[in-house]
Amino acid sequence: MNLDDSPEQAAFRARVRGWLAGHAPAMDSPQAWVKDFGVRRGDEEEAFLQKARAWQALIASAGFAGVSWPVKFGGQGLSPVEELIYSQEEAKFGVTTETFDVGTKTIAPTIIEHCTDEQKARYLGPMLRGEEIWCQLFSEPVAGSDLAGLRTRAVREGDHFVVNGQKVWTSGAHYSDYAMLIARTSPDKPKHQGLTCFIVDMRTPGIEVRPLRQMTGATHFNEVFLENVVIPAENVFEAVDAGWRVINTCLAAERAIIGGGHRGPSFDQLRDLWRASSARLPAHRDALVDAYIGEQVLELLDMRIQTALTRGTEHLAETSVKKLYHGTVINRTARLGNVLQDTVEAMTDDERAYWHGEVLRVPLFRIAGGTDEIQRNILAKRVLHLPTAK
């Protein structure tokens, strides 16, 4: 494992850090910006979206929105390592591209690999500049862990498809402009072979988005109902019934970004809380040490992922392990912060609400992007090659 950047990577990191230092603070205060969609509500979410669009447009103009995208599509044509470095550095400045990551980091690579030149020209530019937000219409009530078991149907009628079905847990569907949809087009074929991916305009008649109220009070996730939704045949990714191959490109890209900047409260935030506490119990100190160790382990996993990317080798084990451990670290730090804030007198209501919200959104990190159980299955089957239980 390489613990240090190569000279070229170090130079890129320094350039990113210098640019962020000069621009990120001007966008908003870090404390206000870093709050996750899991705790935003109503007008607060809309205000964030406006700031997020402005930030995305700014980093696009500076060349940092699509670091690993081909130059002809507006990117820098660099490797996934530089993409990872940018994510790591951005996370330190309290700003985020999370609003657009589904599009720019998972759907865009899929469009680049599987779509026509006309589709690339139409969708990639607005996505990169933050003019259009994308979501994924993948999971269903009976097809979450087993995506190939989905029931949403797309029936060909001349030059278009008619889609009927239901999706669930769709992040950002209520503010998204476009979606990548996977539906069953050939029910007579084996379940992995009869699927097709589509580009969908979320304003198409027949699409109903119903926000799901989370225990934080926010509504970031949604149910999406599709009733006789008409999709032009030209909006197919690659080819009819090629959906499983297409969707795996998207899911592979999603796994790759797991190694980006850490989400959730940092050790520095916890240390500051502990210092302000009126009750510094030995148990709190021990938990603080555990939080520091957890953050350092995540940093080391980042280095392993970066090393694998540099060598062009498989990094499935590292990303799945980090996904699992990240949820554990977030759970510990959020709960410790919530305990410590009760011992700090000089705290605002917003600060207290932040720590309560962090505890409530912990399950998000253990479900989104593949549940803990899915990650364990990946490690067991594809990394350790363990036999299937009979």
H-helix or E-strand spanning residue 349: helix 349-360
One domain for residues 213 and 149: yes
For residue 215, the domain's CATH number is 2.40.110.10
Element (H, E) at 317: helix 316-341
Rg (CA), the chain: 21
Identify the three-state secondary structure at position 389.
coil
The pLDDT tens digits for 235-286 are 999 999 999 999 989 987 776 665 455 567 888 889 999 999 888 888 999 9
Which of 287, 288, 323, 318 shows the shortest CA–CA distance to 300?
Answer: 318
Helix extents (H) in 225-281: 243-256, 267-276
How does the average pLDDT of the chain come out, rounded? 86
What is the residue-wise DSSP string for 91-157?
HTTT---HHHHIIIIIIHHHHHHHS-HHHHHHHHHHHHTTSS-EEEE--BTTBSS-GGG---EEEEE
Beta strands 195-201 and 178-184: pairing type? Answer: antiparallel
Same domain? 118 vs 147: no
Same-domain pairing of 230 and 299: no
- The CA-atom distances, in angstroms, between 147 and each of 141, 167, 221, 253, 324 are 10, 11, 18, 16, 20
Same domain, 373 and 266: yes
Q: Is 40 found in the same domain as 83?
A: yes
Residues 145 and 230 in one domain: yes
pTM of the entire predicted model: 0.83
On whether residue 174 sits in a domain, the answer given is yes
Range of the domain at 124: 7-133
Which is nearest to 374 in space by CA: 256, 223, 259, 255? 255
Residue 122 exposed, middle or buried by CB count within 10 Å (0-12, 13-18, 19+) = middle
Which range scores top for mean pLDDT: 42-46, 109-113, 373-377? Answer: 109-113
Q: Which pLDDT tens digit goes with each residue over 86-97?
A: 988 887 887 778
Choice between 306 and 228, residue whose per-residue pLDDT is larger: 228
Residue 350 lies in a domain: yes
Question: Are the C-beta atoms of 115 and 238 separated by less than 8 Å?
Answer: yes
Final residue in a domain of this structure, among 116, 133, 150: 133
Q: Which residues are catalytic?
A: 254
**Residue written as tokens 């809309």?**
46
In the chain, the number of structural domains is 3
145 and 126 fall within a common domain: no
Q: What is the mean pLDDT of residues 189-213?
A: 96
Residue pointed to by tokens 């988005």: 209
- The CATH number given to whatever domain includes residue 330 is 1.20.140.10
Higher pLDDT, 80 or 199: 199
